[in-house]
Amino acid sequence: MQALYNIAKISAMIIKKLFLPVSLFFLPLPAFMQTKTIDQKVDSVLKLMTLDEKIGQMNQYNGDWESTGPITKDGDKQNQVRKGMLGSMLNVTGVDHTRTLQEMAMQSRLKIPLLFGQDIIHGYRTIFPVPLAEASSWDTAAIRLSARIAATEAAAAGVHWTFAPMVDIARDPRWGRVMEGAGEDPFLGSLIAAARVKGFQGKGLGNIDALMACAKHFAAYGAAIGGRDYNSVDMSERTLWEIYLPPFKAAVDAGAATLMNSFNDLNGIPASGNKYLQRDILKGKWNFKGFIVSDWGSIGEMIQHGFVKDNYEAALAAVTAGSDMDMESRSYINNLSKLVKEGKVKMQLIDEAVKRILRKKFELGLFNDPFKFCNKEREQQQWNNPENLKAEKIIAEKSIVLLKNDHLPGQQNHLLPLSKQIKTIALIGPFVKGIRDNLGFWSYSWPDDSVRIVSVWRGIENKVGSNTKLLYAKGCEIDDSSLVGFAEAMETARQADVVIMSMGEASDMSGEAKSRSNIHLPGVQEELIRGIQATGKPVIVMISAGRPLIFNWTADNVPAILYTWWLGTEAGDAIADVLFGDYNPSAKLPISFPRTEGQIPIYYNHYKTGRPATSDSDRFYRSAYIDLSIYPKFPFGYGLSYTNFNYSDIQLSHSTLHANEVIRATVTVSNTGNFDGEETVQLYIQDLVGSVVRPVKELKGFQKVFLKKGESRQITFTIGIDKLKFYNAGLKYLAEPGDFKIYIGGNSRDVKETGFTLK
Ligand code: BGC
């Protein structure tokens, strides 16, 4: 794969130069077609199509000007569009540009409109926090809104289809693509998957601000062995069904128009040629009515997998397995016709795939008006929509995780939030004045980035008054071995009352093809933190990243730490709100933070073993490392607030549960600190004895509650039999009678517990 994976996007202005406008007029559907159902319309179009035109619909190419994968060089793409040899293009955006290409499609015999797909992963014009950061909010309404805004902006720029949400569960932070998902948990991941699909698709396809969603990568891509991107996946059926498939099911139930398959093989069968996944599960058991697009070149990559000999066999395997559209491998366009003529692929398989694709084009309204998404005025209006930036800032605030906030020696207050009256603040670190690194991977570059993206420096400058002096020293680069800047940074720190350090990984260090074996804070950053801490000044460390990083010395020695992920366009303002207490942090980690790479994979919902380690002093001849704590550095669900929340013991409405009943579990949560704040109250359940081994605990519910200081509230979870079900040895989804434990708390580790019996 090539360096072009860094998808810094070029602006619509450049795009315009590459294609000359073509003046053709689109002819709307004849009146008799307008009264038919979509399926009837699809059938009418299908009847008119030649085999080549059908195969054309199953073919997708990248535009020629930017890429998210290895483009096949082809000077003839525009002619192929004119001949109806393409159903879709990706990485083509902007009203002018999409119009130009759509006009070419309107020169084709049947004038079937093109679909324009794009990776709108966390925003288009306004960049939102990376998906893993947003997942830390545990706020599905906010996440839905972020997807809604992204869709509105992108649809106004001619895009029809986003290759999002990525709903892969990820238990390995070495995998660079953890940043694109919702973390390690299937329950949280499923709620977020549904929220994102609903956000992208809005009030439904056909609305002018709705994008087709594409849940990806089907399936189990997040379990690539060793966290190495594009690697194989070897997984039990139970883990597949219990952990990796639920977010896909949730996306399908939420109405996802499309799914994307994946680069990996699953237990030896590449996903693109995997009939079990695509036909049996997705189109069969789940009755999915949309279409499946391959991942970039993944149909052709079955040759490298050694699963097929050539593109001819690849096309045969993929179409048989249910892949409807071929992204960029050209296996379909070059081989399907021959395969049909030779009788190896039945026309019915082709028709089925084409119908699925055409149906979506009708649902989007493109047959009525292929230029429906090409409106200059709307594009302009969404280009600078201040409301979108406001929403971005709020979602960014909700995504910031407070990992630590100690008292300073001899002081009553915690270090954070800071007073706005501080005389001198030193801002130190390679991220303080960073611009693009606030956005993270899968984000677009626009010409006005340097003005529009709020750096940490600018955010803090906007916040403090003229009485506060801000000092700056970079200290070191993001990933470098030079200590040259240390002395200046330490001198700057000595002149300040408080030091804020902005550290982390660059925006191209997590993302596709960005797996890392070393996920420590890069370069000499942690040494710089040590140096600054040694000045004796109060130090706050902020870490920007797309994955959990390792920073043990910092975690053990620095009094205050904020995990700021990659927060998007308004990063600096959101950070300043949190630092100075205008927003009280409420986020909770959606993924466990390891102590060292050797502890990976580490996740909270692991199975019980025969020799469980119960604490760090009880880990010998137990399932543990002799040289490492049994605990992650920060557990799943963890995140502090400027206030404190106290949990009462759990009260149960009954101690036994019958199949058609529910139990209510109630705790009283009290805000006992000095600030108003929001807590995410988490419910975990454990099945104590099962016909197959069960996890030590599983998230089964959560509620977000805002409490004024001094306020208490009763929080009740209703537990029915559905929350107790699992896949037994025969893969039947059921609940077994017996004893269960309930845990409720503010993270997966610090919980109150009680139990009940299922009769
Ligand atoms: C990625 C997909 C992405 C596609 C198109 C692939 O390399 O795996 O997630 O949607 O490229 O950009």
Alpha carbon of 89 to ligand 1 centroid (Å) = 13
Where does residue 725 rank: exposed (0-12), middle (13-18), buried (19+ CB within 10 A)? middle
**Residue 707 predicted with pLDDT over 50:** yes
By DSSP bridging, strand 498-504 and strand 712-719 are: unpaired
Identify the three-state secondary structure at position 449: helix
Q: Contact, 65 vs 7, CB < 8 A? A: no
Query: What is the chain's mean pLDDT, rounded?
Result: 94
Pocket test for ligand 1, best of 1, 66, 68 (most atoms within 8 A of CB): 68
The pLDDT of 454-468, averaged and rounded, is 96
Residue reference for tokens 């309107």: 106
**Residue 729 predicted with pLDDT over 60:** yes
The predicted pLDDT at position 67 comes to: 66
What is the reported pTM? Answer: 0.95
Alpha carbon of 178 to ligand 1 centroid (Å) = 14
Q: Please state the φ and ψ torsions of residue 735, each to the nearest 5 degrees.
A: -110, 140
The pLDDT of 181-200, averaged and rounded, is 99
Alpha carbon of 327 to ligand 1 centroid (Å) = 9
Structure-model confidence comparison of residues 30 and 113, the more confident one: 113
Structure tokens at 486: 């240390």
Alpha carbon of 112 to ligand 1 centroid (Å) = 25
Q: Contact, 109 vs 161, CB < 8 A? A: no
Structure tokens at 34: 């307008």
**Residue 152 predicted with pLDDT over 60:** yes
In the chain, the percentage of residues whose pLDDT exceeds 90 is 92
Instruction: Determine whether 295 is an active site residue.
Output: yes
List Cα–Cα distances, 277 to 205, 410, 559, 713, 733, in angstroms: 26, 60, 48, 45, 18
Nearest-CA residue for atom 6 of ligand 1: 296
Structure tokens at 626: 């002799």
**Residue 156 predicted with pLDDT over 80:** yes
Q: What is the pLDDT of residues 282-294, one digit of tens each?
A: 999 999 999 999 9
User: Which atom of ligand 1 is least distant from the CA of 216?
Assistant: 9
**Residue 17 predicted with pLDDT over 60:** no
Pocket test for ligand 1, best of 295, 301, 441, 443 (most atoms within 8 A of CB): 295
**Residue 32 predicted with pLDDT over 60:** no
Q: Which residues contact 350 (CB under 8 A, 6 or more apart)?
A: 51, 54, 55, 58, 319, 336, 340
CA 43/CA 56 separation, integer angstroms: 17
Nearest-CA residue for atom 2 of ligand 1: 295
The predicted pLDDT at position 14 comes to: 28
The pLDDT of 558-586, averaged and rounded, is 98
Least confident residue range of 33-37, 316-320, 377-381, 430-434: 33-37
Structure tokens at 678: 């929001």
Q: What is the pLDDT of residues 414-424, one digit of tens each?
A: 999 999 999 99
Q: What is the pLDDT of residues 576-626, one digit of tens each?
A: 999 999 999 999 999 999 999 999 999 999 999 999 999 999 989 999 999
The predicted pLDDT at position 33 comes to: 60
Bond from prior residue into 601 cis (ω within 30 degrees of 0): yes
Nearest-CA residue for atom 8 of ligand 1: 295
Nearest 5°: the CA angle 724, 725, 728 is 135
Q: Contact, 270 vs 305, CB < 8 A? A: yes
Catalytic entry in 119, 168, 295, 573: 295
Of the candidates 705, 726, 749, the residue with the CA atom closest to the CA atom of residue 138: 705
The predicted pLDDT at position 18 comes to: 28
User: Which atom of ligand 1 is least distant from the CA of 263?
Assistant: 8
Alpha carbon of 302 to ligand 1 centroid (Å) = 16
Length of the chain in terms of residues written = 759
CA 124/CA 669 separation, integer angstroms: 39
The pLDDT of 382-392, averaged and rounded, is 96
Identify the three-state secondary structure at position 416: coil
Pocket test for ligand 1, best of 296, 299, 326, 443 (most atoms within 8 A of CB): 296
Alpha carbon of 637 to ligand 1 centroid (Å) = 29
The predicted pLDDT at position 83 comes to: 96
Pocket test for ligand 1, best of 91, 116, 512 (most atoms within 8 A of CB): 512
Nearest-CA residue for atom 4 of ligand 1: 296
By DSSP bridging, strand 161-162 and strand 214-218 are: unpaired
Nearest-CA residue for atom 12 of ligand 1: 68
Q: What is the pLDDT of residues 37-73, one digit of tens each?
A: 999 999 999 999 999 999 999 999 998 766 677 777 7
87 confidence band (pLDDT: 50, 70, 90): very high
By DSSP bridging, strand 291-293 and strand 258-261 are: parallel
CA 199/CA 204 separation, integer angstroms: 10
**Residue 642 predicted with pLDDT over 90:** yes
The pLDDT of 227-236, averaged and rounded, is 98
| Chain-centre distance for alpha carbon 530 | 33
Alpha carbon of 524 to ligand 1 centroid (Å) = 32
CA 745/CA 681 separation, integer angstroms: 6
Paired strand residues for 349: none
Alpha carbon of 92 to ligand 1 centroid (Å) = 14
Alpha carbon of 296 to ligand 1 centroid (Å) = 6
CA 95/CA 358 separation, integer angstroms: 22
Nearest 5°: the CA angle 745, 746, 750 is 65
Pocket test for ligand 1, best of 72, 89, 119, 200 (most atoms within 8 A of CB): 119
Residues with CB under 6 A from ligand 1: 68-69, 90, 119, 163, 216, 295-296, 512
User: Which atom of ligand 1 is least distant from the CA of 217?
Assistant: 9
The predicted pLDDT at position 493 comes to: 98
The pLDDT of 164-174, averaged and rounded, is 98
User: Which atom of ligand 1 is least distant from the CA of 7?
Assistant: 12
Question: Which value, to the nearest 10 degrees, does the dihedral of the CA atoms of residues 629, 633, 637, 640 take?
Answer: 130
